[in-house]
Amino acid sequence: MTEATRTGPMLAADGTPLKRSLQRALRAQKLRALMLIAPLLAFILVTFVAPIADMLFRSVENQIVSDTLPRTAQAIRGWDHNSGEPPGDDVLAAFTIDMIAAVERKQHTRLGTRLNYEQNGLSSLFRKTGRGVADIGETYRDQFAALDPAWKDAGIWANLFADPSWRADHDAWEAARAAARTAGRPFAEPVPAFRLNDDLADVLPETADAYLDFARAVQGNRNGDPAARAPWPPVYLALYRDLTAIGVGRIATLDAEAQALLDPAHYAVRSFERADLAAIYRDIDRAWGQPTVWATIQTFSPAYTPGYFLTAVDLKQTPDGIVSQPADQKIYIMLFQRTLVMSLAIMAACVLLGYPIAFLLANLPLRTSNLLLILVLLPFWTSLLVRTSAWKVLLQQQGVINDILVWIGIVDNAGRLILINNQTGTIIAMTHILLPFMILPLYSVMKTIPPSYVRAAKSLGATNWTAFWRVYFPQSVPGIGAGCILVFILAIGYYITPELVGGTSGTFISNRIAYHISSSLNWGLAAALGTILLAVVLALYWTYDRLVGIDKVNLG
């Protein structure tokens, strides 16, 4: 063997360096392991990680305002809400175009519902305005039509604002449709997607933008044809505003057809009767004359908002900053505190009741303990709703428990205990439901504790209590930790049992989350409450890990 061979890298059987061959084998092994867990990983991502990420996004997402009122959100930025006056015509004109487009897409009611979370009455205000906004601009439409009837012709509008390539595509589409009708064939080809004339959009930006929204709305509504429908009256308002704002030289840059239509209108609009937009909106509803309504729109125009999280901690975002909620609306901090305190009380009750039962099961003969363990597991075979409903029967003032207490003389008939629709009923019912989750970890740990340890302690002179407390109990602590974590996390997220037996004073924050998801449909606030609850649980878990150590938790 030469010196070079002795000092060179070690080779595998195939002649490749051994280190490289080993790395390749390890990569292949890791890849096979990854492929084995890939289905489980995908399942966790889809069913656990994705919903949590969606919840976090919904808790700050506010894009419905900026998406539904894009022009208004831009125009209202410079308005001073402390002026005491509603916004000027620029904002009102932008709002008019946004609203008519939202009405056509049937989005104005959703927008009103969103803003109603911040100021009561806005939901009905937007519904009412949706019925009246289509008439705004009729004054200008009639004056343009009186100047030249062509302004009421849908085809003229389409030819004026459409890109030449769209007009060619539209002509071909109309020819194909006419040929199909002549031949008696069905024709399902959609109208070509409308494309705007960029040159005209530079000269008449507001009008072009409004007409583009109109064309898209028409095509989105059963694939209509923009060239067959006259534009909305608010489009004429935009045309009036554009023509009064531009110079005559701008129109001269357009083609002859556009100049022939726009030149007379450009000179005539200066003598048009001007519509008072502020008065029109006040006629629709007096609320539009209040700066607070517009200030709410301005405050919640950004695409993301901390408003849901502020509401979840009894604060409120206003145009002037963050303020505290009125005293009669401060409920969420109280609900969080109640949830934590009652969950800890339920956990403590489960420890006090579950520890003796688990100790008994662990130290009885196997046949007897198995029989009793079946009784512990029996509630799992019964519906949660049935068990909770049974407690409603047991706990009511005329129920079984009060009847027994009266019968044995502990209470008199007039002093029956109130055990339902309060915190007492919630704690009793949930302790019964969650008790098996405490017993099973305790039992599994206690079964691993050798009885000889206690006997050895007694043989060395320890009393029964000392042998239990100094020898047996420390070895059962991991089971207590596991049971406490299980019971507490389950209790803090329960909502069926508190809803049925808790009344107004025994409900948890989870009941409010369920209400906002299913009844009020305020998903943003529900997501914020859920996120805070998740953060609280993680913080408590971290605290437990720091104080006790999660590695000491043992399921046996």
The CA distance from 413 to 26, in Å, is 77
Residue type, 540: L
**444-459 pLDDT, tens digit each:** 999 988 988 988 998 8
Task: Give me the residue spans of the domains in the chain.
Answer: 3-58, 65-135+276-305, 138-271, 332-552
Query: Which CATH code of 3.10.270.10, 1.10.10.10, 1.10.3720.10, 3.40.718.10 fits the domain covering 332-552?
Result: 1.10.3720.10
pLDDT of residue 12: 61
- Count CB-CB contacts under 10 A for residue 198: 9
Strand partners, 319: none
Residues of the chain with pLDDT under 70: 1-9, 11-15, 18, 548, 550-556
**Dihedrals phi, psi of 151, to nearest 5 degrees:** -70, -10
Residue 364 tokens, joined: 């009885």
Question: What does DSSP say about strands 315-318 and 321-324: parallel, antiparallel, or unpaired?
Answer: antiparallel
The CA distance from 286 to 278, in Å, is 10
**Dihedrals phi, psi of 365, to nearest 5 degrees:** -55, 150
Strand partners, 550: none
The CA distance from 517 to 512, in Å, is 9
pLDDT of residue 554: 58
Per-residue DSSP letter, 162: B
The CA distance from 293 to 462, in Å, is 77
The CA distance from 428 to 430, in Å, is 6
pLDDT of residue 247: 79
Q: What's the burial of 93, exposed, middle or buried (CB within 10 Å: 0-12/13-18/19+)?
A: buried
pLDDT of residue 112: 94
Residue 309 tokens, joined: 């999280």
CB 130 within 8 A of CB 108: yes
pLDDT of residue 533: 92
Residue type, 62: N
Residue 179 tokens, joined: 């040929």
pLDDT of residue 376: 87
pLDDT of residue 439: 93
Residue 436 tokens, joined: 């098996």
- Answer left, alpha or beta for residue 246, where phi above 0 means left and psi between -120 and 50 means alpha: beta
Distances (CA, A) of 189 to 154, 216, 223, 288, 461: 21, 17, 10, 44, 97
Buried b (16+ CB within 10 A) or exposed e, 27-57: eeeeeeeeeeeeeeeeeeeeeeeeeeeebee
- Answer left, alpha or beta for residue 521, where phi above 0 means left and psi between -120 and 50 means alpha: left
Distances (CA, A) of 225 to 79, 97, 147, 164, 218: 38, 20, 26, 16, 7
The CA distance from 95 to 65, in Å, is 12
pLDDT of residue 545: 79
Residue 6 tokens, joined: 């002795």
